């Protein structure tokens, strides 16, 4: 980079009322950029009373929508478009960074409305996406405005190529590695050789997160480690109730911690003997695996392509067959009973996880920003596209006029 400070506008499509991986990625990227001296403003769905960082502008109430195999909280419609216009005018950004611009939320609106140096990051990884197929005709003319594209993984890049055409540079999600590596263990969550602890983090009521796969593996683990404790963090009482039903007489082995803070998450991952990622699909990266690796927990995860790549083909974590509870149980028993395997795996993870540290990731993102700015007309900043005033109303009509 030239070293000049940039004014960066970042648009997040998903609500911070119920934050997830994309929201945390946006927040942490903004903080990393600000730490380097860049001026950053984030626009994201959030209620006015939702606690958000001071660099974030809440864009109002979101609506839960089933989208790409999950429930996403999105903001769309004429009122949201007006908020986007006002935020863009006030920001005077050198570069606009849109996340998931084909999701019917703020990113799509900003893509329709804005012109100038625009970077887009694509997070979704699906073999077939009806949502993308439906959205493509709506955004196809606007996709040409994008100056540079980023995909968070090879799987996300392939989804982009297959559904929307074009290509993207792969820049992974970032993690503040040292925050996890230096976290204080919590005695409540630490295990012993006789009573090891295994953690799971995720939305409990989303089947693809795999809690039921883990629940069905618990009896197998308890046969060899009767004192094992499974610590489950995340929201979703329906999912927790289903897991208890699956566990039956073994339900006491699984402890539900509910939602936890970032600090508690780091402490939990630093405390446990193993972290389990039993997701069954729809994962483009696996940020929680990187967090667990950073904290020094041995990772056991389903052999999804995205997870295998994060775990360096199984050297930075131990893989099991996706959706196979028997194989998960056997793999956990093997990992918990083999000190040498755990030590070798954690040592490899500790060496490789630095590639995901924000110090590295931010440098790559800034390089993309520089390319986008260099490709624009001299002195051109992000501005409103005059054509958006004529065509936006018709595009919004099928989605309704609320929010």
DSSP string, 256-286: EEES--HHHHHHHHHH-SEEEE---S--SS-
Residue 80 lies in a domain: yes
The total number of structural domains that make up the chain: 2
Residues 259 and 111 in one domain: no
**174 phi, psi to nearest 5 deg:** -105, 160
**Does the pLDDT at position 33 exceed 60?**
yes
Q: Answer whether residue 398 shows pLDDT above 80.
A: no
In this structure, the answer to whether residues 110 and 24 fall within a common structural domain is yes
Using a pLDDT cut of 70, give the percent of the chain over it: 90
Q: Is 228 a member of any domain?
A: yes
* Domain-located, residue 400: no
Q: Is the dihedral of CA 300, 303, 306, 310 positive or negative?
A: positive
How far is CA 358 from each of CA 32, 33, 108, 155, rounded to the nearest angstrom? 7, 9, 26, 21
- The H or E element spanning position 28 is helix 21-35
| Same domain? 113 vs 218 | no
Q: Which domain does 106 fall in, by range?
A: 7-174+357-389
Note the pLDDT tens digit of each residue in 132-151. Answer: 555 666 667 788 999 999 99
Q: What is the CA radius of gyration of the chain?
A: 22
pLDDT band of 3, cuts 50, 70, 90: low
329 and 385 part of one domain = no
Mean pLDDT value across the chain: 90
Segment (H or E) for 374 = helix 358-374
Q: pLDDT (tens digit, 9 = 90+) per residue, 339-394?
A: 999 999 999 999 999 999 999 999 999 999 999 999 999 989 999 998 887 655 44
Position 118 in a domain:
yes
Whether residues 182 and 317 share a domain: the answer is: yes
Check which CATH number belongs to the domain holding 204 and give it: 3.40.50.2000
Distance CA 358, CA 13 (A): 21
Q: 123 and 17, same structural domain?
A: yes
199 and 305 in one domain? Answer: yes
Q: Could you say which of 310, 327, 354 is where a domain stops?
A: 354
Q: What is the model's pLDDT at position 393?
A: 46
User: Is the residue at 2 inside a domain?
Assistant: no
Instruction: Average the pLDDT over 47-55 and give the result.
Output: 87
Distances (CA, A) of 246 to 221, 228, 240, 241, 361: 15, 17, 10, 9, 40
Q: Note whether residue 397 is domain-resident.
A: no
Band of the pLDDT at 272, cuts 50, 70, 90? very high
For residues 238 and 294, membership in a common domain is answered with: yes
232 with 342, same domain: the answer is yes
Q: Please state, in angstroms and rounded to a whole number, the distance separating the CA atoms of residues 26 and 30.
A: 6
Assigned domain for 401 exists: no
Which pTM value belongs to this model? 0.86
Q: Do 230 and 85 share a structural domain?
A: no
- Note whether residue 403 is domain-resident: no
Domain identity same for 336 and 372? no
Q: Are 208 and 131 contained in the same domain?
A: no
The pLDDT value given to residue 162: 86
Encode pLDDT of 170-185 as tens digits: 999 999 999 999 999 9
Residue 301: in which H helix or E strand, if any? strand 298-302
How would you classify the pairing of strands 229-233 and 197-201?
parallel
């Amino acid at each position: 980079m030239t070293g000049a400070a940039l004014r960066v506008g970042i648009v997040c499509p998903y609500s911070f009322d119920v934050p997830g991986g994309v929201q945390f990625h946006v927040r942490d990227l903004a903080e990393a950029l600000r730490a380097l001296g860049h001026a950053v403003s984030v626009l994201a769905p959030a209620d006015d009373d939702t606690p958000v960082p001071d660099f974030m502008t809440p864009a109002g109430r979101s609506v839960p929508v089933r989208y790409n195999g999950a429930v996403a909280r999105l903001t769309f419609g004429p009122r949201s478009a007006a908020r986007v216009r006002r935020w863009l005018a006030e920001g005077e950004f050198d570069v606009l960074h849109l996340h998931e611009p084909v999701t019917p939320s703020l990113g799509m609106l900003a893509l329709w409305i804005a012109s100038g140096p625009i970077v887009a990051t694509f997070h979704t990884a699906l073999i077939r996406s009806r949502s993308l197929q439906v959205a493509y005709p709506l955004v196809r003319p606007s996709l040409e405005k994008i100056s540079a594209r980023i995909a968070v993984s090879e799987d996300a890049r392939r989804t982009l190529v297959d559904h929307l055409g074009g290509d993207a540079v792969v820049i992974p999600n970032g993690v503040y590695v040292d925050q996890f590596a230096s976290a204080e263990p919590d005695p409540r969550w630490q295990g012993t050789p006789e009573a090891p602890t295994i953690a799971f983090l995720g939305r409990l009521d989303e089947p693809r997160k795999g809690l039921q796969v883990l629940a069905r593996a618990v009896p197998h683990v308890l046969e060899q480690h009767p004192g094992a404790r499974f610590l489950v963090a995340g929201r979703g009482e329906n999912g927790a109730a289903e897991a208890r039903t699956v566990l039956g007489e073994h339900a006491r082995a699984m402890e539900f911690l509910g939602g936890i803070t970032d600090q508690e998450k780091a402490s939990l991952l630093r405390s446990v003997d193993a972290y389990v990622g039993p997701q069954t699909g729809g994962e483009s990266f696996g940020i929680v695996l990187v967090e667990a690796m950073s904290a020094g927990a041995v990772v056991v995860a389903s052999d999804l392509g995205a997870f295998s790549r994060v775990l360096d083909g199984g050297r930075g974590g131990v893989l099991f067959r996706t959706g196979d509870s028997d194989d998960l149980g056997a793999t956990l028993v093997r990992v918990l009973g083999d000190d040498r395997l755990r030590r070798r795996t954690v040592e490899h993870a500790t060496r490789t996880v630095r590639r995901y540290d924000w110090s590295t990731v931010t440098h790559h993102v800034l390089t993309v920003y520089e390319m986008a700015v260099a490709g624009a007309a001299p002195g051109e900043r992000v501005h409103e596209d005059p054509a958006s005033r004529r065509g936006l109303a018709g595009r919004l009509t099928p989605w309704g006029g609320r929010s």
